[in-house]
Each structure stands twice: as C-alpha cells, then as structure tokens.
Amino acid sequence: MSDNRPILVVNGPNLNLLGTRQPEIYGSTTLADIENLCRGTAADLGRKVECFQSNHEGAIIDRIHAARGTVAGLVMNAGAYTHTSVAIRDAVLAAELPLIEVHLSNVHAREPFRHVSYLADIAVAVISGLGPDGYVAAIRHLVARET
C-alpha cells in the first residue's frame, strides 16, 4: 500500500542562487525550476512534495523536526552543511524519516573537504552529479521503496 503523505524536499545554503551561482558547476537551472521538476515528478507518481530552502542551519533543523510523522520521506541537498553539520544529521535521525542525499555536482570530483558527508551513512541513498535529475531519481526511489 502506498503512503499518501507528501515527500519533503529540503535545500540548504546558497541553493537559492542556483541559475546564477557558478553555472559552470551547478548549471543554469534555478531552484524554482528544480522545485517545479520535483512537483511534476511527484504528480506523475500520484504524490505531492513540499519544498523548503534555507540558508540557516536552525531553520533547516526546525523544518526537519516539523516533518516527523507528517511526510513519507526526505530528499535533501544540504549544500555545505552536508560536510559540517552534526546538528542536521541528528535532526534527520530524530525525525526517523528515510533520507536520500542529493548533490547537483559530483562532490567526489571536487575539493577534498566535499568528499566527507555527515549524512551519507544514515541515508537510504546518495545521488551525486546528476544535476536536477538527481532529485527526480530520489523522489522515484522513495516512492518505489513503499511498494
């Protein structure tokens, strides 16, 4: 039986600047484009997504806490917090939600500090380097896990 709760898509710091920020790394797709892509993907699967973006660690933690028991899963591009935030990791664990970690770029082809993720070992999957299609794959995978 399918879970009818929405999927939460969380984007972290600086992702609000997508489309103009380092397009050679992140492309020209905006955050609004990605959110629309996520909504369309979910709709095709008979589901809904809720999208949230913040540059503030505490706001991200508060949103993850609020999601506990109200969403079916979490797709998160925590941005730089991926490599620094034990607090976001602890929030995900406390929320008891399946997590798929997403990165637009291939973080393993970038600076060494980006090779470390505080989320990867608690995630169902990590998708890196697929650009916006990574969000599509994450949503599809979360829904497929339910069947």
| Active-site position among 26, 81, 118, 135 | 26
26 is catalytic: yes
pLDDT tens figures, 112-124:
777 789 999 999 9
Confidence of residue 59 (pLDDT cuts 50, 70, 90): very high
pLDDT tens figures, 6-55:
999 999 999 998 888 777 777 788 999 999 999 999 999 999 999 999 99
135 is catalytic: no
| Active-site position among 81, 83, 103, 118 | 103
- On the 0-12 / 13-18 / 19+ scale of CB atoms within 10 A, 9 is buried
* Domains of the chain: residue spans and CATH: 7-145 (3.40.50.9100)
Question: DSSP letter string over 68-97?
Answer: TTTSSEEEEE-GGGGGT-HHHHHHHHHHT-
pTM: 0.92
